[in-house]
């Protein structure tokens, strides 16, 4: 295990434990979440060593990689994803310009496929070999290993998307440095993240499915992601709700809490979360953050 002795956002050297969460998906082990005493940023700490992190993704339940259709939750997830994919594309079109799109952590390539079909020059990066093979076989997409992120040339990308991916990456600062380098000066960065200040996070506490330890290394509030992005010369253009996520996260959280999905209960809690967010600083279950480089309107 690796102890994080410095806040990845503000550099403060003290953090205190705020919660113990269980890994419900793979190991069943407990992990601690600590909060920086200075800026309040929460992160999973200690966490597995970098070369052990991939061990925690080996689950059939990890549907974004395996595309399995087993079980009601997974089937609902895939249906919702179809709708969400189209919506993501509309969002990207609305808030960015340019044709060259890079999807980091693209999984099996479903979003890239939608982009390519609507005329984008789409490339993807993904650490999981099985997911890359799936992308090639099903969509004819040649997805590159994540290591290629370091080799991309400067100013060659118009749009970077990371859909629920940044919370998984170990070296946050390296990622932001690279975003700055590879994006065209008019480029746009889209980052979707779960929100630990959402109502569903409050309702479920340690059972909240989007803590997803130890796969989620970081638990960004709106202020945290804005803070680190600004350090690299990005400003937040807007934050957009992902309302369906509330329902999905509530279903999974119910399952963690009581070993049952409790669909109706989850539905009402999801709705409660979305209603709460409307009145409370857009604290939706998940948000898409749209960043532009400074100097751009």
Binding site for Zn ion (CB under 5 A): 7, 9-10, 12, 36, 38-39, 41
**Shortest distance, position 58 Cβ to Zn ion, whole Å:** 32
**Shortest distance, position 14 Cβ to Zn ion, whole Å:** 9
Q: Which residue number, 43 or 248, has a Cβ lying nearer to Zn ion? A: 43
**Shortest distance, position 229 Cβ to Zn ion, whole Å:** 15
Inter-CA distances, 18 with 42, 100, 168, 274, Å: 8, 41, 20, 25
Measured between alpha carbons, how far is 261 from 259 in angstroms, rounded to an integer? 7
Q: Which residue number, 74 or 170, has a Cβ lying nearer to Zn ion? A: 170
Q: Which residue number, 132 or 219, has a Cβ lying nearer to Zn ion? A: 219
Is there a contact between 287 and 88 (Cβ–Cβ < 8 Å)? Answer: no
**Shortest distance, position 149 Cβ to Zn ion, whole Å:** 25
**Shortest distance, position 10 Cβ to Zn ion, whole Å:** 3
Residue with tokens 């339940």: 61
**Shortest distance, position 40 Cβ to Zn ion, whole Å:** 7
Contacts of 272 (CB under 8 A, 6+ apart): 199, 203
**Shortest distance, position 231 Cβ to Zn ion, whole Å:** 12
Q: Which residue number, 46 or 98, has a Cβ lying nearer to Zn ion? A: 46
Q: Which residue number, 10 or 203, has a Cβ lying nearer to Zn ion? A: 10
Is there a contact between 158 and 186 (Cβ–Cβ < 8 Å)? Answer: yes
Q: Which residue number, 9 or 114, has a Cβ lying nearer to Zn ion? A: 9
Residue with tokens 């948000």: 287
Q: What is the 3-state secondary structure (H, E, C) of 66-104?
A: HCCCCCHHHHHHHHHHHHHHHHHHHHHHHHCCCCEEEEE
Q: Is 20 exposed, middle or buried (0-12, 13-18, 19+ CB in 10 A)?
A: exposed
Q: Could you give the strand order of the β-sheet that contains 42-44, starting from the edge strand earlier in sequence?
A: 15-22, 30-36, 42-44, 218-219
Is there a contact between 4 and 43 (Cβ–Cβ < 8 Å)? Answer: yes
**Shortest distance, position 172 Cβ to Zn ion, whole Å:** 12
Q: Which residue number, 43 or 57, has a Cβ lying nearer to Zn ion? A: 43
Joined tokens for residue 18: 């705020």
Q: Which residue number, 101 or 166, has a Cβ lying nearer to Zn ion? A: 166
**In what helix (H) or strand (E) does residue 65 lie, and over which residues does it extend?**
helix 63-66
């Amino acid at each position: 295990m690796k102890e994080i002795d410095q806040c990845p956002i503000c550099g403060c050297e003290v953090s205190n434990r705020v919660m113990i969460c269980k890994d419900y998906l793979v190991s069943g082990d407990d992990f601690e979440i600590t909060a920086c005493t200075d800026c309040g940023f929460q992160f999973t700490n200690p966490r597995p060593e970098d070369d052990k992190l991939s061990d925690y993704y080996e689950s059939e339940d990890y549907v974004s990689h395996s595309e399995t259709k087993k079980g009601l939750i997974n089937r609902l997830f895939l249906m919702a994803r179809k709708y969400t994919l189209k919506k993501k594309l509309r969002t990207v079109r609305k808030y960015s310009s340019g044709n060259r799109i890079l999807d980091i952590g693209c999984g099996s390539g479903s979003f890239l496929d939608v982009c390519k079909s609507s005329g984008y020059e789409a490339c993807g990066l993904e650490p999981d070999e099985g997911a890359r093979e799936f992308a090639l076989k099903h969509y004819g997409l040649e997805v590159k290993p994540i290591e290629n992120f370091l080799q991309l040339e400067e100013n060659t990308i118009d749009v970077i998307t990371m859909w629920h991916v940044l919370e998984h990456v170990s070296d946050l600062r390296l990622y932001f440095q690279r975003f700055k380098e590879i994006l065209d000066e008019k480029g746009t960065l889209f980052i979707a993240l779960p929100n630990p200040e959402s109502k569903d996070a409050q309702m479920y506490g340690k059972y909240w499915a989007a803590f997803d330890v130890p796969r989620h290394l970081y638990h960004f509030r709106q202020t945290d992601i804005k803070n680190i992005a600004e350090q690299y010369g990005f400003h937040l253009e807007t934050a957009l709700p992902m309302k369906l996520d509330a329902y999905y996260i509530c279903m999974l959280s119910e399952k963690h809490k009581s070993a049952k999905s409790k669909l109706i209960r989850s539905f009402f809690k999801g709705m409660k979360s979305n209603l709460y967010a409307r009145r409370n600083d857009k604290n939706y279950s998940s948000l898409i953050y749209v960043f532009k480089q400074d100097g751009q309107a």
